[in-house]
Structure 1
Amino acid sequence: MSQSTMSATKGTVTIVGAGIVGLATGIELQRAGHKVQIIDKEGIGAGASKGNAGHFATEQVFPLADPAMLPKLPGMLIDPLGPFRIQPRYFVKAAPWFMRFLVNMLPSKRAHNAQAIKRLNEQSIEALIALTEFCGCSEFVTLNGSLLVFEGTPIEVVTNEYEHYLGAGVKVRMLTGNEVRQLEPSLSDNISHGLYFTHVGHTKDPYQLCQAIANKFIALGGEILTEELTSIENEYSDCSGSSISGDSKVTMRLQTGEKLTSDKLLIASGAWSKPLVKQLGYSVPLESERGYHLMMPQISSLTRPVASYNRKFIITPMSEGTRLAGTVEFGGLQAPLVNARADCLFPHGKALLPELFAGANVADGERWMGFRPSLPDSLPILGGSPNHANVFFSFGHQHLGLTWSGITAKLVSQAMSGLPTDMDISDYRIDRFG
């Protein structure tokens, strides 16, 4: 749609959240003819959108609620540097989330959730390409696949993993260690096998990708406010359950006390969405998975992301260095970054890229921690509020916010514009938890 086409606005929209999800949806809403402003307390791409692994992870079709985790749960409380960690002081608070998580391990629920993940994944790369082409930043999308590597893992285990992905419809090839090194010669000789996901991509800088999308958004007339929205007022705060007419305005208040009104509201504030939707009467089981990275300044020769089956982390080549990312920690939104959880990624990176990091030190790296908004079924919340005609949601994208940003932006924009969505989004509705 041309810029001139957008002059006949369909109304005003306020988006809460300037991460990749909110920014992408802002672009799609502008293209659909809406006048859009985005509010974020920290600014453009400042949260998980800045520090993620940069991986368009369409091979990740399996929900996190996996029965194979059950025997490992006790160790998660013991090992402070394990790949999946629950801070002991936070365990009681997180217990209700984990009870729902366990329920989603049931075979019927797991199969249902996997299909809902897969539907989004199948259209995500195409949507990202279309989004970045429109925004003039296609250079931030590299479609060169990704690798999952194994170090001395029994061939039976490797084959089982390969067949598991293949059976789920993921495009994958099984490689020997030598074939892995033909693709990426800098990888360690200790790698015995690999899975090559051929229809996967990555970005060289997720933060700059956000900035590029934001620049296009502003060029199209959008406004970005670095403010904190604290309340959704008048009719929306009484949680009466009655539907509000399409002519009603949404009234909001910022932390400064300033009031804003808008025809429609989209809550896309990631891990911080829970208190806002609670004002609308929804109690969603949203938890924050605290993800870490160590950004090393060394520029690797890798041409694609490399994940380790044994070490449970991922390496992504980026324009400013090499990002070592991974680990999941449940500890809430207030606890500070734990330096050791970022630093523990360094020996793993050195083991897989021995020459690159031969003279490096962990102190050379930049530590980061961000909050992944996760729900027990590994699905996002998308679409409209059943009780408020002008309020919509797009949050809870867990590990796949970057991957799903383009497709969920398209779907939510269609819903907010009163159009049929390209796929059924009822599996992602906000009231699915009862």
Structure 2
Amino acid sequence: MGASLSEPTDVVVIGAGIIGLSAALALRARGLSVMVLDREGPAAGASAGNAGAFAFTDILPLASPGTLRKAPRWLLDPLGPLSVPPAYAPRILPWMLRFWRACAPERVRRATEAQSVLMDLSRAALEPFLDATGTRAMLRTDGNLQVYEGQAEFEATLPGWQVRADHGIAFTHLDAAGMAAIQPGLSSRFTHGTFTPGWFSIADPKDYVLALAERLRAEGGTIERAAVTALRPTADGVALLTQAGTRRAAQVVVAAGAFSHRIVRSLGEQIPLETERGYNTTLPAGALDLRTQITFGGHGFVVTRLSSGIRVGGAVELGGLDRPPDFRRSAAMLRKAKSFLPGLNTEGGRPWMGFRPSLPDSLPAIGHAAATRRIVYAFGHGHLGLTQSAGTARLVADLVTGAPPAIDLAPFSPQRFR
């Protein structure tokens, strides 16, 4: 049942996705009483339908000159890797302008450095976190294969691989024969590839998040379904306004993913959080003999082996929270995947759409609210929520308990967009 409407809690975490539940467990480990509130319950959003990758090598921000070069071609295809519904374009224009500014080379360099530091922390924190939560058996180490159509596309990626090499990330460039040795059955249109062995994955992201929820309950935390509509700092804590009444906590963590900016508006903060609407189709487990995750970067999607099946998904639709799903996007990716992997059986798939919370510079917001240090923000991880979950959980626990943060949080300040 959890606490009564008036009973105080040490920390209320808003959000039962991968970031919220990881943070809740880290806070429980430091001896705090924790309640998680979520509008739908555990693993109801992007934490359930993602590709399941711990993409620690993915240090290059989406906001980059490379994305700007590709964007015009992508935007010409309404079902391609990047789309903006015409009716939503006026609303997203301010965000797009911030994104364009974030693509300046010096800003990209700083964002890459910050992302690398957070990735290093998250990689170091992951396996201890899995051990502490009893989920280590779900970890897979199959690597990732990025494939390219021709010499020109391959060579265009080399500066990015040099940046990764400078940060100590291991990879191997491959020709067609080398790719076939790792993943048989690729179309001959893919002539070059890069294999990254340090790319981990989880057996199934939904099962993982649900396991974390059960672990939190077993350790004395509570999880309740409630939509938080506003936050009000008080003399001794924070009041959380919900449709069921008012909750009270000494401290609050906002980890509500793509809905976070709506909650923090009640504190007078306007944080430019947008929604990358991601699409996928999950096929039955026998749909393909898939031996590693494959990234089709020129087409904006991946193919992943999960315990629940073969997942084909990705792309970015900047369309907000309220538009209905356009599952033609899932179908378009599936058709491409079939042509790229001729042995793929595309029958019996389940389409899905979810919201990835995205900030213009591709970095999350991790830090205190402007209004009070009793409220901590942890949202805006884009497509890296699972990847950065263990590191973010440690940082949230540091902020809530007053410990020195494990890394410099200035690049992730929620107030950096003022």
TM range (shorter): over 0.9
Quick check: 1:162–1:174 contact (8 Å CA) kept in 2? no
The correspondence for 2:67, drawn from 66, 69, 74, is: 69
Q: Please, which moves more after superposition, 342-351 or 287-296?
A: 342-351
Match of 2:178 in 1: 179
Structure 2 letter corresponding to 1:227 = A
Match of 2:396 in 1: 412
Long gaps (5+) in structure 1: 1-9, 237-243
TM-align CA RMSD: 1.9
Match of 2:132 in 1: 134
Structure 1 residues 158 and 330, CA gap change in structure 2 (3 angstroms): closer
Verify: 1:107 aligned to 2:105, yes or no: yes
Quick check: 1:77–1:87 contact (8 Å CA) kept in 2? no
CA–CA distance in structure 2, aligned partners of residues 134 and 413 of structure 1:
15
CA–CA distance in structure 1, aligned partners of residues 409 and 227 of structure 2:
29
CA–CA distance in structure 2, aligned partners of residues 41 and 411 of structure 1:
24
Quick check: 2:65–2:105 contact (8 Å CA) kept in 1? no
Displacement of 1:285:
0.7
Q: Please, which moves more after superposition, 154-163 or 401-410?
A: 154-163
CA–CA distance in structure 1, aligned partners of residues 254 and 324 of structure 2:
25
Secondary structure, counterpart of 1:263 in structure 2: strand
CA–CA distance in structure 2, aligned partners of residues 346 and 180 of structure 1:
21
CA–CA distance in structure 1, aligned partners of residues 238 and 273 of structure 2:
24
CA–CA distance in structure 1, aligned partners of residues 403 and 125 of structure 2:
18
TM-score by length of 1: 0.90
Secondary structure, counterpart of 1:147 in structure 2: strand
Long gaps (5+) in structure 2: 1-7
Alignment of 1:154-233 (within 5 A): 154=152, 156-157=155-156, 159=158, 162-233=161-232
Quick check: 2:285–2:307 contact (8 Å CA) kept in 1? no
Verify: 1:289 aligned to 2:302, yes or no: no
Secondary structure, counterpart of 2:269 in structure 1: coil
Alignment of 1:14-413 (within 5 A): 14-154=12-152, 156-157=155-156, 159=158, 162-233=161-232, 236=233, 248-256=236-244, 258-299=245-286, 300-357=288-345, 360-361=346-347, 364-413=348-397
Q: Please, which moves more after superposition, 160-169 or 143-152?
A: 160-169
Quick check: 2:60–2:160 contact (8 Å CA) kept in 1? no
Secondary structure, counterpart of 1:432 in structure 2: coil
Structure 2 letter corresponding to 1:263 = A
Structure 1 residues 333 and 84, CA gap change in structure 2 (3 angstroms): same
Equivalenced residue count is: 409
Quick check: 2:230–2:240 contact (8 Å CA) kept in 1? yes
Quick check: 1:186–1:302 contact (8 Å CA) kept in 2? no
Q: Deviations over 1:26-78 (max 9, x none)?
A: 00000001000000011101101000111111121111112233354444543
CA–CA distance in structure 1, aligned partners of residues 255 and 395 of structure 2:
14
CA–CA distance in structure 2, aligned partners of residues 221 and 118 of structure 1:
34
CA–CA distance in structure 2, aligned partners of residues 372 and 42 of structure 1:
16
CA–CA distance in structure 2, aligned partners of residues 70 and 386 of structure 1:
32
Structure 1 residues 181 and 74, CA gap change in structure 2 (3 angstroms): closer
Displacement of 1:410:
0.6
Structure 1 letter corresponding to 2:215 = K
Displacement of 1:272:
0.2
Quick check: 1:298–1:356 contact (8 Å CA) kept in 2? no
Match of 1:239 in 2: none
Displacement of 1:348:
2.1
Quick check: 2:148–2:192 contact (8 Å CA) kept in 1? yes
- Percent sequence identity is 34
CA–CA distance in structure 2, aligned partners of residues 159 and 266 of structure 1:
39
CA–CA distance in structure 2, aligned partners of residues 160 and 67 of structure 1:
12
Secondary structure, counterpart of 1:14 in structure 2: strand
CA–CA distance in structure 1, aligned partners of residues 20 and 98 of structure 2:
27
Structure 1 moving runs of 4+ over 6 Å: none
Structure 1 letter corresponding to 2:142 = N
Secondary structure, counterpart of 2:388 in structure 1: helix
Displacement of 1:418:
0.9
Secondary structure, counterpart of 2:282 in structure 1: strand
